[in-house]
Every structure is written in C-alpha cells, then in structure tokens.
Amino acid sequence: MMMTLGMMVFMRQTLPYQGLQHNVDYRWPTNSRVGQRATAQFLGPGDEKITLTGVLLPEITGGKISLVTLKALADLGLAWPLIGGDGTIYGMYVVTDYNTNSTEFFSDGSARRIDFTLNLLRVDESLTAMFGDLKQQANDLIGKSSNLTSSVQSVMGSLASQAGGLFS
C-alpha cells in the first residue's frame, strides 16, 4: 500500500501514483509604510495541498474501475483521512479536482494508457484538533488507571476480609 484516502487504497493494482507534490502556504500579509519597507506579520499556515500524478496501464496496473471508484469518493463531497503507507498521517482532505488523459487505445476503444492528476486540499484545523491533546488524553488515562488501581485494591481487601471471615 502506498497511501489511503478514506477507503481508496493507492497501490499498484488500483491507482499507483508516480509523483506526490505537497504544498503548504503560509500567510504573511504586509502593511505599507511611508518612506520604509512594508512590514509583514505572520498569521499562520494557509492552504495545504497535495497533488498526486501517475500513469495507469490497465494491462498491468489499475484502470477505469479505480478511476470510477475515486470519482464516487469525490462525488460524496466529504473530507477523508489521508494516510501514507509509511504511517504518516497527513490530515483530513477533500478532492478538489482530478483529471485524466487517455492515450494509446485498444481496438475496442478502451485506453491502454491513462495519465491522471488528483488534487487534494486539507480541511482540518491541525492534527491536534483532529486527535485532541494527546498529553491530556494520556493524563486522563493515568488518572483513570490510578482510580482503577485503588478500586481493585479495595475490592481485593474486601475479598481478603471476607475470605478471612470464612476461615476464622
């Protein structure tokens, strides 16, 4: 597996991409000043886009069915998690557009070669917003485990006293 976008798995049998372009914009608006250079202020990250490009050779790789599946995914208009095959979590992305160019046809008119471009736009706030504060989650789990430990200890003490009562 190379990558997944929601339920669409990119691999050699479906949509193997040969190029991945990752573009992150940062917002730096400027204010003009008389007799001086304009000042710039950092406002944070802007759009984050990923472009996947590839060539499908339906005799070897995915073909029309893979493209129809991708189109159906895009037609839903939902944000999907984009996860790399190496475990990289890119975030939640929507399909802004995809293009295909078919060349070198079989005698029945089906394409022997399909070039594709898929453009994705990140729509989540950040991975922190997506998963929450991991430190807070860990602290909550630790707090719950200490409560669980004290509960187990009190139950064990109660069982021991009851068991001791049976033998006295």
Give dist(CA 53, CA 39) in Å, integer: 38
pLDDT digits (tens, 9 = 90+) for 33-85: 999 999 999 999 999 999 999 999 998 888 888 999 999 999 999 999 999 99
Conformation bin of residue 109: beta by default, left when phi > 0, alpha when psi is -120 to 50: left
Instruction: Assess contact for 38 and 31: CB atoms under 8 A.
Output: yes
Answer yes or no: pTM beyond 0.85: no
Bridge partners of residue 80, in order along the sequence: 93
| Mean pLDDT to the nearest integer, 101-117 | 93
Give dist(CA 104, CA 93) in Å, integer: 32
